[in-house]
Structure 1
């Protein structure tokens, strides 16, 4: 070796030698370095929080940590998102309109159109990738919801998972929601967290905050000079509404007065705080069909206590978020980093109306989006009496009367394109804001797509013009950096289209045109189907929102020319942003699935030791079809434990042995059915046959070595339930049967389990294809 030259590359090497040993001038590869004085950045996104749910926005809920930060920074009273979770996340992380980056709907759907792909495009750099490109450490906690549900399993390509989209570290869940007491599937990096059960006092928000603290401490210990970017995406306050029992107890009695009075009190505080201007009127209770709210005083006394408890749980969830913020601030202050940290807080959309008229302890029971009412059931009353609402046995959601109060002073809710759907709180705190911080509320129009260009502008980040060798598109958002220190700086974001689930809207220079997709109703021409109104015949409303911020006065008749201009602008923006084909309301976009999904419906054999099968794969084996489960096991006289389970307290089924008997347990939103029969010994083949005489019914037959031992009829599981995947040899995490769990926890089988096989029956594919074809035809006619 020639010591003057150092190590000699092997023959044919055509790369670059970055460092040579023994050379007079060392050489290292160039690494990204942050701009001088670059701050840490925390973007905290919460789920389904209404505009008025923080103390500093008029709420009675105690949020001192966020109120203090708002006092140091800025509150925005005219900040807007996309009205729905996945689309807002896509717009936040790319600075582009949601359809333009393929996330026009929640990522659970993939109908095959560019605007609704359910994942970020390959060419567009994410916020995390931009920060990492500029030398930041990047961390993420919580809800992702930007991957297709068919690509959340261990064998997936993972190209749309957090680590592959720019995060160095990730801890959270990939789906829309999870159980806060018993999360169904957590990830650390790209790996599923392996656990059979959680401690009795486990709570997801606390766990996520523990991990956030750890990430910050570890990063700053390793390299104090390196700034970090943290995207903390809370699962709260999305359903299921759950909170620690002691936190719920602190809210006792706060909501006994009901949503009408709470709403009036919040409006008064908002005016006092300057969040909204004096003289702002409170809209009447929402009266739109299927979105209406009943008078609180008209509810039976016995029901009011249940309805109030739902809101107590929600308030406890909001307070848990505030506690999370307080903990992060304490850590940063201890490390001397708080004064060098930019902190943003926002919600992804307005409060949710998914609890319908009266809420529910198992809100997925209310699976039809057009159901006009829900009832306070005997089960709800019993769970209230047993103090179970908000605990690990419930999957609660409050009634939409509380969503109306949470969105004070705006009309309607999440998914609509009225302001209750997309006007949310946003707090921006930065060390450089100076004396103007906290003293003035910014009332200029700001959109979620503006956050990325604002951060890159104020910090001086270099933005890549390509990703994966493909040219990136320019962002749609506009920087509001000038607005941070100049109260009078005008908004650079002067117009914006809205579309969510067929609802449409367009904002331009203080005017807003809005229409709502007509509720699906039985029609005279299709009495057994849901009728639709053609898009061209839907009524639009027009509001001068600079003067009428909560859209009380429709000016469509007095200013038809402005309305027509905004409608034409919406059409142009829709074509430019891949909005078409719009969700026409006939259901085609929810029925279509990629051809490749058929692999998830093939027969499957699971051996002992197989980790929990992912939710979507598990569901495809049983959804809308007959199926057979065959368990091969060696059973002794005293053998007991779970052979197979699928689901949790939200709904599911389980086969287990106990006291010499075989038990098939069926949980339909807390309503339990158990079929039992004698358990043979020796090598046993247990078969569970599930027939579907109609789409709402399961006929279940259990046989042991060819002999029928039990049978019965029960309600078919449907929708996204069971939400937890298939387990063999135990009932992990949230249990199907709480009674069994209370005796045995996850109850691992103590005999010899050889295999569990699933044989999905024939789903009437022809019927499904015909349904899709009909939906497309109806939608095409109406568009």
Structure 2
């Protein structure tokens, strides 16, 4: 390669330029990019179903995406991982998800190579290779490739975006956030200090503003340098939110219900050639009819509520299209649209996490490991007009998710096609390729990075941090663009929480449940589909072709070993294991007033699935007012404040509000103790003591579980999404005044019996060998 590096690399897109210096560090630009090198824009949409865009049969207006598709290629046989982090890891590295360290979302590290939730040190990212190839590299939006225990302000940042190849980053590094009041924003390597969000703030708009600013600032300083922009939308992941004017445009569009809409999308897909005529729309059990009521059976009130959920979802997709339109317009103004490679895709299929009725209380049913009591309220009733707005966190019902995944069956996290079959659009007007339109070749997410590098003529880095780079699992499919008859990918394994699948040519074998330990990793119940004749998996041929099933199950087993898939989460306990290094995050901590909130996961380790206490030393004036401490948002949380000199204790139980007031306190020093104690039935009791006497109590409320409280702990004000909307309407973030918060300390108590977490000395044996 040395000679090739000295004279420049010849790729699909031509020669990149001259090699900078053999003595340069691995991360420095290794080439001077050609002045005519194309820009690269990758737009990734979160939890978008196969049929949710205009080119794939949707009724949602997406004119900007339609334009891109009309100028390029629409891939009808693109598959991705069943969950978001695994797809993003494969996109960034060209590796299969488990080899990239992400057999699961970036929340746990049970101690196995396929589940580290960290990109491998010897796996250069697409951004790193492009930066070495002379590109400016920008990212906005959702990262979700750093373990949640390494998101706090003192964490090792080696897996943050800037350390993985991006010159600039702005967005939310967590898996999702509120679009009206983001729980935490990061710019480059630092948390953004936002004392209060302005009225009408919306994250999709700010992400787009930030992306345009990065491009503009580059062009002010360098008119020719090509750039790579990775725009990873937070939409349409839950909580599904949108702006009121956009929601209004879709009012009434979904009154006919999900059954009719699914049929209409399927008919359009056939007209567009997105699905072949031989495809059948799954029905009965295959269409999850047992989980999705028929629209005609619903009451008028239910129809209105459920339609509202989909109106908001459509508005969110609409807003993504508007964002794409703003990007396209700016590139056009700069005269660079023609020479920009645009790749637009979804990270996985649409999700059914909203359940059969959807929810206005997202965290009441999302992200829980513990079994919920029978009387648990999963959807706190509130005005349907508030869905999509800042006052509640919602998720659409599974009936609409089935529509999103038309014509396929099942949902996100499944290895059926509904979980892995996603939209993909590629555009490059200046490519010189005349043959455009539909492409039905099999493409997998790990093929995208090699394809992009091939198109722009940049070689992948051969080493990283002094170690030889892993060879990618994906391969360039650039030839497919110019040749509708070119070969696509032949085979690919899939795995998610023990669900397995193997596609090989026309055939797909899958097992929708993990095998028991006695059955072995290749055992269990398998289904078989001939995708060339039955792309929507309606005719199980396993009983008729047992030998083929055994062959594909064996092939999956071989691929699983090669790709570090094991161990399977066959009993649901794998991800209860966490590194013992997280233990200090549960130690008592003293917080400083008026600083940015304590990061979400760091804060959760003090409170979730346990009893805890908050100690506050205050010196009050006669007019004491404001928030002492707040933890959470409209999705659930608690808050201690003073109003008119009197203490106020507020608890938001996933939208069900509880408040308790104490008498006004005299000026001078006071010791406050907020005790949050676990009761039976996964409930808490909150008591506020002032100078040793109980002054306010909230008895018997549901515990905040899983991802709630989502917004971290803020001291001296209520950051971001308010815990108590009525208090927020009166005072905004309600910064504490009329006294001094001398000290505020969290003291975690006993862990709940429902906490399945097991801390293990993960990595200790490897470290001992290294020493």
Q: Same fold (TM over 0.5)?
A: yes
Other-structure match for 2:344: 345
Other-structure match for 2:451: 454
Separation (CA, whole Å) in 2 of partners of 1:516 and 1:593 = 26
Query: After alignment, is 603-612 or 762-771 more displaced?
Result: 762-771
Other-structure match for 2:479: 482
Query: After alignment, is 411-420 or 511-520 more displaced?
Result: 511-520
Other-structure match for 1:777: none
Correspondence for 1:494 among 470, 490, 493: 490
When residues 211 and 262 of structure 1 are mapped into structure 2, their CA distance, relative to the original with a 3 A threshold, is same
Q: What does the per-residue CA deviation read over 1:524-581, in whole Å, with 9 as the maximum and x for residues that have no partner?
A: xxxxxxx999866632111110121111111112222211111001001111111001
Separation (CA, whole Å) in 2 of partners of 1:30 and 1:544 = 47
Other-structure match for 1:81: 80
SS, match of residue 37 in structure 1:
coil
Separation (CA, whole Å) in 1 of partners of 2:538 and 2:743 = 62
Correspondence for 2:395 among 374, 397, 421: 397
Separation (CA, whole Å) in 1 of partners of 2:556 and 2:39 = 38
Query: After alignment, is 148-157 or 535-544 more displaced?
Result: 535-544
Other-structure match for 1:672: 657
When residues 376 and 600 of structure 1 are mapped into structure 2, their CA distance, relative to the original with a 3 A threshold, is closer
Conserved? CA contact 1:660–1:679, under 8 Å? yes
1:760 has 2:748 as partner: yes
Query: After alignment, is 360-369 or 531-540 more displaced?
Result: 531-540
Separation (CA, whole Å) in 1 of partners of 2:299 and 2:145 = 42
Deviation at 1:290? Answer: 10
Q: What does the per-residue CA deviation read over 1:177-198, in whole Å, with 9 as the maximum and x for residues that have no partner?
A: 0000000100110111111221
Separation (CA, whole Å) in 1 of partners of 2:56 and 2:622 = 64
Deviation at 1:589? Answer: 2.3
Correspondence for 1:414 among 409, 412, 415: 412
Deviation at 1:500? Answer: 0.9
Query: After alignment, is 697-706 or 741-750 more displaced?
Result: 697-706
Deviation at 1:762? Answer: 2.7
Other-structure match for 1:506: 502
Deviation at 1:217? Answer: 1.2
When residues 469 and 374 of structure 1 are mapped into structure 2, their CA distance, relative to the original with a 3 A threshold, is farther
Other-structure match for 2:562: 576
When residues 361 and 770 of structure 1 are mapped into structure 2, their CA distance, relative to the original with a 3 A threshold, is closer
When residues 378 and 490 of structure 1 are mapped into structure 2, their CA distance, relative to the original with a 3 A threshold, is closer
Separation (CA, whole Å) in 2 of partners of 1:562 and 1:570 = 12
When residues 476 and 243 of structure 1 are mapped into structure 2, their CA distance, relative to the original with a 3 A threshold, is same
Other-structure match for 1:554: 540
Correspondence for 1:715 among 673, 686, 702: 702
Which residues in structure 2 correspond to 1:241-320 (within 5 Å)?
241-287=240-286, 292-320=291-319
Other-structure match for 1:235: 234
Deviation at 1:763? Answer: 2.2
Separation (CA, whole Å) in 2 of partners of 1:594 and 1:50 = 34
Deviation at 1:366? Answer: 1.6
SS, match of residue 439 in structure 2:
coil
TM-score by length of 2: 0.91
Separation (CA, whole Å) in 1 of partners of 2:758 and 2:107 = 22
Separation (CA, whole Å) in 2 of partners of 1:412 and 1:372 = 24
Which residues in structure 2 correspond to 1:333-372 (within 5 Å)?
333-367=332-366
Conserved? CA contact 1:197–1:734, under 8 Å? no
Query: After alignment, is 180-189 or 284-293 more displaced?
Result: 284-293
SS, match of residue 661 in structure 2:
strand
Separation (CA, whole Å) in 2 of partners of 1:477 and 1:459 = 17
Separation (CA, whole Å) in 2 of partners of 1:442 and 1:372 = 46
- The number of aligned residues is 733
Conserved? CA contact 1:606–1:728, under 8 Å? yes
Separation (CA, whole Å) in 2 of partners of 1:378 and 1:111 = 29
When residues 486 and 376 of structure 1 are mapped into structure 2, their CA distance, relative to the original with a 3 A threshold, is farther
Q: What does the per-residue CA deviation read over 1:202-238, in whole Å, with 9 as the maximum and x for residues that have no partner?
A: 1111110111111111112211110000100000110
| Structure 1: 5+ residue stretches without partners | 1-15, 19-28, 521-530, 774-783
Separation (CA, whole Å) in 2 of partners of 1:356 and 1:533 = 31
SS, match of residue 450 in structure 1:
helix
Conserved? CA contact 1:359–1:376, under 8 Å? no
Deviation at 1:458? Answer: 2.1
Correspondence for 1:629 among 601, 614, 626: 614
When residues 369 and 75 of structure 1 are mapped into structure 2, their CA distance, relative to the original with a 3 A threshold, is farther
Correspondence for 2:593 among 608, 616, 622: 608
Q: What does the per-residue CA deviation read over 1:56-88, in whole Å, with 9 as the maximum and x for residues that have no partner?
A: 110000000100110110000000001110000
Query: After alignment, is 623-632 or 253-262 more displaced?
Result: 623-632
Other-structure match for 1:93: 92
Separation (CA, whole Å) in 1 of partners of 2:645 and 2:518 = 56
Deviation at 1:732? Answer: 1.1
Q: What does the per-residue CA deviation read over 1:692-719, in whole Å, with 9 as the maximum and x for residues that have no partner?
A: 1336111222111111112231221111
When residues 77 and 379 of structure 1 are mapped into structure 2, their CA distance, relative to the original with a 3 A threshold, is closer
| Alignment root-mean-square deviation, CA | 2.6
Query: After alignment, is 391-400 or 191-200 more displaced?
Result: 191-200
Separation (CA, whole Å) in 2 of partners of 1:640 and 1:103 = 47
Separation (CA, whole Å) in 1 of partners of 2:647 and 2:751 = 28
Q: What does the per-residue CA deviation read over 1:11-50, in whole Å, with 9 as the maximum and x for residues that have no partner?
A: xxxxx9x9xxxxxxxxxx9963125632000011000000
Which residues in structure 2 correspond to 1:150-189 (within 5 Å)?
150-189=149-188
Which residues in structure 2 correspond to 1:760-779 (within 5 Å)?
760-763=748-751, 768=756
